[in-house]
Chains A and B, each alone.
Chain A
Amino acid sequence: MAAPTGVALKRTALNSLHKALGAKMVEFGGWEMPVEYSGIIQEHLAVRQAAGLFDVSHMGEIEVSGPRALPLLQYITCNDASRLKDFQAQYSALMLPKGSAIDDCVVHRWGEDHYFLCVNAANTERDFDWIVQHNAVGAELRNVSAEYAQLALQGPRALEIISKVTPTSVAGLEYYWFCRARCCDVEGILARTGYTGEDGFEFYFPVAESAKVWNTLLEAGRPEGLVPAGLGARNTLRLEAGYPLYGHELDEDTSLFEANLGWIVKLEKGEFMGRDALVEQRARGIRKKLVGFEMRDRGIARDGYAVYIEGKAAGHVASGSYAPFLKKNIGMAYIPPSLAKVGREIEVEIRGKMAGAQVVPLPFYRRTK
């Protein structure tokens, strides 16, 4: 994704620290972000086997509060936010009328009338405008993205590491729950969430404290094998875990059913944006389906490559890469639902040549608990 020309890239508060660590920087969603430090493979393996620390301060945060907060969330998102308890989080999507997502997000509930959403960096402003535009019920909305830094500590050693820097007992914090916590001497929000397929935490805190939290965590985690990890590893980790990335598996022309996200669509909760389209699609059937595949021939399928089945154009690769932990070339692709069967042979056109691949179950990787 190229930045609009003439627009300066945004930088997180850790930009100079990343560069000092030797990070290679790239443009991502309008931000200059570290793509790798020591190398994507090494960082990826560290997260699977020990731990990695990601600066994800580019992610957006939106607060929804007031007595009308829940009605607004119920209208604008597809998951059922009324099921959330205080300090619980939920994976969801901000909806468009046609049953597709304007963005995917995590909804966190502080209390009955106070929520915050974590959304994708590139979509933050558009998301916020969309919510404001559809806030007929009159909830209070604040785009607080600029106030928060966010670090993701991910990997099997994450709990040990975080326990060194917080007096709060976090061992009992369950997956997709959060708490107020003081970490590295900084007050913030500590959530047991992540985007890597590993156990881990995401810490939201005042942006001015970025360097302190980053350095303290890296130092505390060094004996456990913690390394700084960039967006390159974040992408290969989420791909192995089968998680969607907005702009790849998800976009305005893809319904949540097509993206295998029916589990976050709660049609029974009542009226919401896009519900009618989803109900209709449930009756009529989806137009395409997201599947996982593994390359059988040599070659790496990349985002956007054409997929053929029995010699006919059948779809495209949504995400594809070498998978550093599985040591295979994998990907996710959209193909006709009638052909989306595990075991089916497909072909991916790689620079003009057909390379064989096979549909496999998702996710590619699931951690052993």
Chain B
Amino acid sequence: MYPQEFLYTKEHEWIRVDEQIGTIGITDHAQKELGDIVYVELPKSGEHVAAGESFGTVESVKAVSEIYAPVSGEVTAVNPKLQNNPETLNSDPHGEGWLIQIRLSERSEIEKLMTADEYEAYLQKEKST
């Protein structure tokens, strides 16, 4: 379910890191919790995001949810598909529904993130409380 090559946050974002570039999205669990996603607000290329801070919002019919940066960096790409097809976040959250790419400024920050196995255990724990 949750790709092994991704790292995860407690706020249900994922990041895939290739060298200095990280691709960020929300997890399948997050999209299920939100329901039908109808609007996504993201930063522009060149803007900075800081680890643990909100860099955008995802809105479903019912709710608004902040998205938090797993690590710090400069935005290098924004998924162009999402403005007109926000439902991509529901249909393919770990693939076509990626949000932004960033150039990592503090690579060591990834050490604080969860692996897929840790994330799944975390979800189990969240579910039982």
Binding site for B on A (CB under 8 A): 24, 35-36, 39-42, 232, 236, 298-300, 302, 321-322, 324, 329, 351
Contacts and interface: CB of A to CB of B under 8 A. Distances in A.
Nearest to A231: B62
A236 B61 contact: yes
Given A299-B41, A300-B59, A351-B57, A39 B64 contact: no
B35 A298 contact: no
A298 B39 contact: yes
Interface in B6-39: 35-36, 38-39
Q: For the complex, would chain A's binding face be called helix, strand, loop or mixed by DSSP majority?
A: mixed
Contact of B35 (A36, A299, A300, A329): A36
A302 B57 CA distance: 14
Contact of A322 (B41, B57, B61): B61
Interface of B: 35-36, 38-39, 41, 57, 59-62, 64, 83
10 contacts: A24-B35, A39-B35, A40-B35, A298-B39, A299-B39, A300-B38, A300-B39, A322-B59, A322-B61, A329-B39
Nearest to A302: B64
A40 B57 contact: no
B59 A40 contact: no
A41 B41 contact: no
Given A24-B35, A36-B35, A299-B41, A324 B61 contact: yes
Nearest to A40: B61
The 9 A-B pairs with the shortest beta carbon distances in the complex, nearest first, are: A322-B38, A40-B61, A41-B36, A39-B36, A232-B62, A322-B61, A300-B59, A40-B36, A300-B39
Nearest to B33: A24
Nearest to B62: A232
